[in-house]
Amino acid sequence: MSLPASSLRLSVDTLLGPGGALQSALEAYEYRPEQLQMARSVEKAFNERGYLLAEAGTGTGKTLAYLVPALLSGRRVVVSTATKTLQEQIFFKDLPLLRERMGLTFEAAYLKGRSNYLCLHRYDAFRKDPQFASREEGRYWKHLQAWASRTETGDRSELELPESFSAWSRLSTTSDTCLGSKCPVYENCHVTRVRRAAESADLLVVNHHLFFADLALRGRGQRGEGVLPQYDAVIFDEAHALEDAAGSHFGHSVSSFRLEDLVRDALGALATTDSRFGMLSSLVVRLRTHSEALFSQAPRVLGLKEHEGAVALNPERLALLSDSIEQVKESLSALSAFTLSEHEPELTLLTRRCAELVADLSFLEKVESHDHVYWAEARGRGVFLRASPIEIARELQERLYGGVDTVVFTSATLAAEGRFDFFARRMGLYDEEGVPVASVRTVSVPSPFDFEQQSALYLPTHLPDPTAPGFIEAAAEEIIRLCEVTGGRAFVLFTSLRNMERAHALARGRLPYQVLLQGERPKQQLLEAFREVPSVLFAAHSFWEGVDVPGDALSLVIIDRLPFASPGDPVVAARIRQLEARGEEAFGGYQLPQAALALRQGFGRLIRTRADRGIVAMLDRRIVTKSYGRAFLTSLPPARRLNQLDALSAWFEGTSAPEREDDVDF
């Protein structure tokens, strides 16, 4: 890293403290002692080569609090985020501020997965015979060609393409399909350019999925070939999302999509005039026939229904598919034997892809690893067979912690009931005997917002229990009444798509505001529409976190029920069984703290600035009537608690209302 000559005088205090460089750089700057407290903790972690768990409440400025000490450390640091929004904010807003306004000199790189970039080699092949799934998709072709001729990055985000634009999978590449250095356009490849820029960068900005895809490629316990250059330290922002992201890359997965892609690429690997095409074609047709047979019968045999979650796999169920699985494996092996003797890069790559599919199918059909959970799911027209580690703790210990000596985990929600134990154990920061695997420090930095004045927590007890008949109908009526209090401007967050769709159907015709529904438009378009006029947005999982709507546009967040993960989910069920097998109490040790952290994320959508003011309404009476409800309440910010709608309305309007004991004491 190259810092200016004056860098010896730079520190987190001179940059972020009172009268420091940040204050000079920003006209509307307000000194935040919470930000400096966190920055000093991160600086200490870098100096001591240790691990840090840093919970930083909304509004503390945690991004700069970790970027400044990271850049001053003189080490190559990876910053990994859960959302594209934060990734872009860091690279296009925060880093330019540090470079241009605060006197730091450094090189940074912004990396995405290969599938985000135009593959020049596949683009050349595609444009010789462009095929589209629909006439609507075909209308984008001229626009895409013009962009391809002028783009310097090849990043799809530069294009205004629909999220469902299916042809993009044939214009981009993945770790399965990339030819690497054997590609004829390797030197001009957009991904090659990004990777080379990363090799000279001091700071790498990535997302969790790319980070763990890289870690999985490097192999267990070694630092082999990956998609990221060597790095010295890692900062995980939005670290509460790590477990799911990591688990998806440390397992095995075979899908109908994966086999369809292999068939398509194999057919395109040789020209029809090549003398070998007939043999290759017959092998591919055989593979396609057997794979279509497998995935057409799998949903019926496994009891899988579209849009109804996942089903656990067991030996008895998979035994019913054993003949079909063996036929697919034999077809893959036959294709692999043919391509093994060939020399074209596309064909030699097929050999590896076939071998990996055979290995994954073999692992899946045995269903014998006690450390993995096996399940199947249907998504759209695709069917997936999956296995992933029940816990990622050991994977992180073996793959990550032995290779880097400094790791910072940060989020607005890491602690449950004021303790970091739950998160630390899930991340493998303690071994099975409870001994830390490294020097682990914690810091909890409160939000600078005045939640007692800025927010109210509405906890009605007159609604039915969420498991009782009629709950969603009663909830819809309460949603309508609550929206009258704030004039709309509400997020209505659900723990299931079914409840979301039902409540939306019941309430939409009675709400005199713009009513939006998750899934009707892309997420960013929904947010833009929400900000334009008073609106009510019915949404589920993807709007619980990573969404920022400051100001008056959002004044009410309604949550239908406590966000316990479904025990019917195969992954959740496997984690519960594993804890119980160890003699541990799964509800208090896993389900409750996980739900408390999720609820804090939902609450966090409301207050985003010092000027914001609004209401969070929890329609699940169990938060008050059940003994475990206190665990949720103690995890939430100290908002004014009310359970009467008239008192809530008076609070929101800023008028005085007579206090009742049941309005303030839960």
What pLDDT, on a 0 to 100 scale, did the predictor assign at position 523? 83
Q: What is the pLDDT of residues 552-569, one digit of tens each?
A: 899 999 999 999 998 888
Give me the residue label for tokens 């043999």: 279
Q: Are residues 282 and 430 in the same domain?
A: no
What pLDDT, on a 0 to 100 scale, did the predictor assign at position 239? 94
Is there a domain that residue 595 lies in? yes
Is there a domain that residue 11 lies in? no
CATH number at residue 496: 3.40.50.300
Average pLDDT, the chain: 89
Last residue of a domain, one of 389, 414, 433: 389
Paired residues of 455 in beta bridges: 614
Provide the residue range defining the domain that includes 328. 252-389
Q: Are residues 44 and 132 in the same domain?
A: no
Phi, psi torsion values for 117, nearest 5 degrees: -115, 145
Q: Are residues 261 and 226 in the same domain?
A: no
What pLDDT, on a 0 to 100 scale, did the predictor assign at position 307? 55
Is there a domain that residue 196 lies in? no
Last residue of a domain, one of 157, 185, 213: 185
What pLDDT, on a 0 to 100 scale, did the predictor assign at position 155? 92
Phi, psi torsion values for 368, nearest 5 degrees: -120, -10
C-alpha separations of 289 from 165, 263, 283, 300 in Å: 26, 10, 10, 18
What pLDDT, on a 0 to 100 scale, did the predictor assign at position 182? 87
Is there a domain that residue 191 lies in? no
Last residue of a domain, one of 185, 213, 231: 185
Answer yes or no: is pLDDT of 486 > 80.
yes
Is there a domain that residue 194 lies in? no
d(CA 339, CA 350): 7
Residue 575: both structure tokens together: 């984690």
Q: What is the pLDDT of residues 568-592, one digit of tens each?
A: 889 999 999 999 988 889 999 999 9
Q: Are residues 509 and 366 in the same domain?
A: no
Q: Are residues 437 and 521 in the same domain?
A: no
Q: Are residues 416 and 329 in the same domain?
A: no
Average of per-residue pLDDT across 249-268: 92
d(CA 329, CA 333): 6
Q: What is the pLDDT of residues 583-640, one digit of tens each?
A: 889 999 999 999 999 999 999 999 988 889 999 999 999 999 999 999 999 999 999 9
Residue 566: both structure tokens together: 């479904």
Answer yes or no: is pLDDT of 8 > 50.
no
Q: Are residues 91 and 218 in the same domain?
A: yes
What pLDDT, on a 0 to 100 scale, did the predictor assign at position 243? 92
Q: How many residues does the chain have?
A: 666
User: pTM of the prediction?
Assistant: 0.87
Q: Are residues 586 and 491 in the same domain?
A: yes
Q: Are residues 215 and 169 in the same domain?
A: no
What pLDDT, on a 0 to 100 scale, did the predictor assign at position 519? 85
Q: Are residues 414 and 384 in the same domain?
A: no
| β-strand pairing of 382-389 with 372-379 | antiparallel
Is there a domain that residue 9 lies in? no
C-alpha separations of 460 from 554, 615, 617 in Å: 21, 13, 8
Is there a domain that residue 481 lies in? yes
CATH number at residue 326: 1.20.120
Q: Are residues 103 and 152 in the same domain?
A: no
- The letter for the amino acid at 170 is R
Cα–Cα nearest to 207, from 242, 177, 168: 242
- The letter for the amino acid at 308 is E
Range with the lowest mean pLDDT among 417-431, 472-486, 530-544?
Answer: 417-431
Is there a domain that residue 10 lies in? no
Domains of the chain: total: 4
> Taking the CB of residue 588, how many other CB atoms lie within 10 A of it?
12
Q: How far apart are the first and last CA of the chain?
A: 54
Q: Are residues 520 and 588 in the same domain?
A: yes
What pLDDT, on a 0 to 100 scale, did the predictor assign at position 244? 87
